[in-house]
Structure 1
Amino acid sequence: MQPPSRRTFLALGLITLTTACTGTDVTPGDANGPGPDPDGPVRLRALAATDALLSAYDALLATPGAQTPLLQPLRAETAQHRAALAHGTPAGSVPPTPGTPTATPGTTPTPAALAVLERRTAQSHLADLDAARPPLARLLASVAAANALHATTLGAPPDQPGPTPTPTPAATPGTVLPALQRALSAEHSAVYGYGVVGAHLPEDQQRADARTYYAAHQAQRDAWQRLLTTLGTTPTPAAGGYQLPFPVADAPTATKLAAHLETRLTAVYADLVADLPAPHRQTAATALRDCTLRAHHWGAPTTPFPGIPDPLPTPTVTSPS
């Protein structure tokens, strides 16, 4: 894989792009004051699925010889998911956090079974994307991506790449066209970046992986181009070149660039979940999941909320008067 031309270096859209953030507010009352949470049924289903997952972690941690160093960080992230999903919900409407169970006699919890449950939890969150308001849809997609990464960490094979978007012009109002163009620009940048990555990796599994991911980003780029064309707008063209965030001269810096590219794309796709109408949210959420897994593959630090900052407010410490 040859590196793209460096004749023109522009600001790398994916790397320096500041996406239009839809916010992480999950408070049900909004500006109209407290009231029924329109997302209530969706939120309660997400909490129930997360509680089942927490109970499964606790049951496995209670067994002799449990892989505590592996399980405890994943369980802690799952608890953060629950707190974020419950945040802003009226008091008394959220079920209490489940207690710590012991292993059921006659059963032997395993990491493999827990990986299956993580993947099922991700699927349940994604099934509710279309029913949620944009901020909650964005959170659900992020948590589902984290669930998919947990499943992989527990030994499950990686999820297969998701489908490309199917054009449905009638369901895509013009107000989302800028969001689609941003996603396309981000994929242009990723395709360019992976050209640089592949050129600096040895001819081994790393380069093979880079080729696979390069092709995946080309396919996603082409899919957004087709969708935008079907919607009657001209897709944003690729720039002649893009400025890299740091010099890339060897395999370590190449893998660092790949991790950076994928991590920045998670933010693009998390925002896109909230920006798009229901028919296209699944596509953006799948892209978020795939970028999360690829970022982890390249050594990017993990986060409980791929693509978004911690949705819970930072406590304010005040000095006593």
Structure 2
Amino acid sequence: MQPPSRRTFLALGLLTTLTACTGGSTDHPADPTPPRDPDTPARLRAIGAADLLLGAYDTLLTAPGAQTALLRPLRDDTARHRATLAQDLPTSSPSSPSPTGTPATGTPTRSLPTLAELAALERRTAEARLDGLSEVTPPLARLLASIAASNALHAAALGDRTPVTTPDNRDASGPTAAVAAVPSLQAALSAEHAAVYGYGMVGAHLPDDPQRTDARTTHAAHQAQRDAWQRLLTAASAAPTPAAGGYQLPFPVTSPADATKLAIHLETRLTTVYADLAGTISAPYRHHAATALRETTLRAHHWGAPTTPFPGIPT
């Protein structure tokens, strides 16, 4: 899927080798051996990380006084991550775990983890998801970026406020990759131009209280992200697309409730933009898209958007 163009994004709510193996009789050649899926090693690593999380969740869920209301939805998300990662793998690969809460096979459960330890594990998993992101196929890059954003959201829900770090692959890019990335970078820049405008409207309709402070902080974050895309485009010898003169909002904004609804809309739409970007941008730049997806997922949740196990990927 190509990332939404400037026009498409605004229309959504903001204006503007195979080697044959032979044997036996030459009259009856053997069937060609299918090539190994290049994503299989990455999928298996990601499944192993999900197993560790599932084991920790299951151990805590069976403990006396377990915070089931908090842990169960996060555990269910993790089970869905694993099932999706395991989909279409060879039958000899690990199968999906039971959704009933049975600890994942091989997961160490000799000691009871704390919520803080589980939160830290979710954060470290979010970071690890993006290792080698430039080496997988675009569909898996999109999926891993989305799951990493979900892991970061889980860590925050469990109380971990440590910033998630992202691998920096800038040195891996060359002139060819930079040129190939320009259309995707321009689309991301256009999305942030629209978000900056939208947050100007959000802040203007919120009372002078912590919500307005949040809007100002988020407005500044989108300005910083806009500037980051502009720097990448300049480094790629491309002229950044300027902002439009104005943008049409998806609905009238006349009250604080409307302003909050608009903030949710802006961030939710950006999760889709950045999940798609992670699967379409040139490989060395995928970590930029994954980082942007994670941050907009956390902001969407902050404003009250419903959570999803796959941020930015329609169910």
Q: Distance in 1 between matches of 2:35 and 2:8?
A: 43
Q: 1:38 to 1:162 in 2, by over 3 A?
A: closer
Q: Is the 8 A contact 1:142 1:270 kept in 2?
A: yes
Q: Is the 8 A contact 1:169 1:230 kept in 2?
A: no
Q: Is the 8 A contact 2:167 2:287 kept in 1?
A: no
Deviations 1:229-254 (A, max 9, x none): 22222221111110101111111110
Q: Distance in 2 between matches of 1:81 and 1:16?
A: 28
Moved more, 42-51 or 118-127: 118-127
- 1:283 maps to 288
Q: Is the 8 A contact 1:119 1:147 kept in 2?
A: yes
Asked if 1:55 corresponds to 2:61, the answer is: no
Once the two structures are superposed, the pairs formed by residues 30-49 of structure 1 within 5 Å of their partners are 35-49=35-49
Q: Give TM-score scaled by structure 2 length.
A: 0.83
Q: Distance in 2 between matches of 1:40 and 1:90?
A: 9
- 1:144 maps to 148
Asked if 1:225 corresponds to 2:230, the answer is: yes
| Structure 1 residue 34, shift from structure 2 partner | 5.3
Which secondary structure does the structure 1 equivalent of 2:130 belong to?
helix
- 2:121 maps to 117
128, 135, 140: which is aligned to 1:131? 135
- 1:318 maps to none
Asked if 1:176 corresponds to 2:181, the answer is: yes
Higher RCO (C-alpha 8 Å, min separation 6)? 1
Q: Is the 8 A contact 1:247 1:253 kept in 2?
A: yes
| Structure 1 residue 124, shift from structure 2 partner | 1.3
- 1:100 maps to 102
Alignment gaps of 5+ in structure 2? 1-5, 15-31
Deviations 1:278-298 (A, max 9, x none): 321111101100000000000
Once the two structures are superposed, the pairs formed by residues 1-321 of structure 1 within 5 Å of their partners are 13-14=9-10, 16=12, 35-95=35-95, 97=97, 100-101=102-103, 104=109, 107-157=111-161, 159=163, 170=175, 172-310=177-315
Q: Distance in 1 between matches of 2:7 and 2:256?
A: 23
Q: 1:183 to 1:62 in 2, by over 3 A?
A: same
Alignment gaps of 5+ in structure 1? 1-9, 19-31, 311-321
Q: Distance in 1 between matches of 2:95 and 2:38?
A: 17
| Structure 1 residue 94, shift from structure 2 partner | 2.7
Q: 1:251 to 1:166 in 2, by over 3 A?
A: farther
Q: 1:301 to 1:16 in 2, by over 3 A?
A: same
Flag the structure with larger Rg.
2
| Structure 1 residue 173, shift from structure 2 partner | 4.4
| Structure 1 residue 197, shift from structure 2 partner | 0.3
| Structure 1 residue 227, shift from structure 2 partner | 1.6
Q: 1:152 to 1:210 in 2, by over 3 A?
A: same
Q: Which amino acid aligns with 2:137?
A: R
Q: Is the 8 A contact 1:138 1:271 kept in 2?
A: yes
RMSD: 2.8
| Structure 1 residue 176, shift from structure 2 partner | 2.8
Q: Which amino acid aligns with 2:12?
A: T
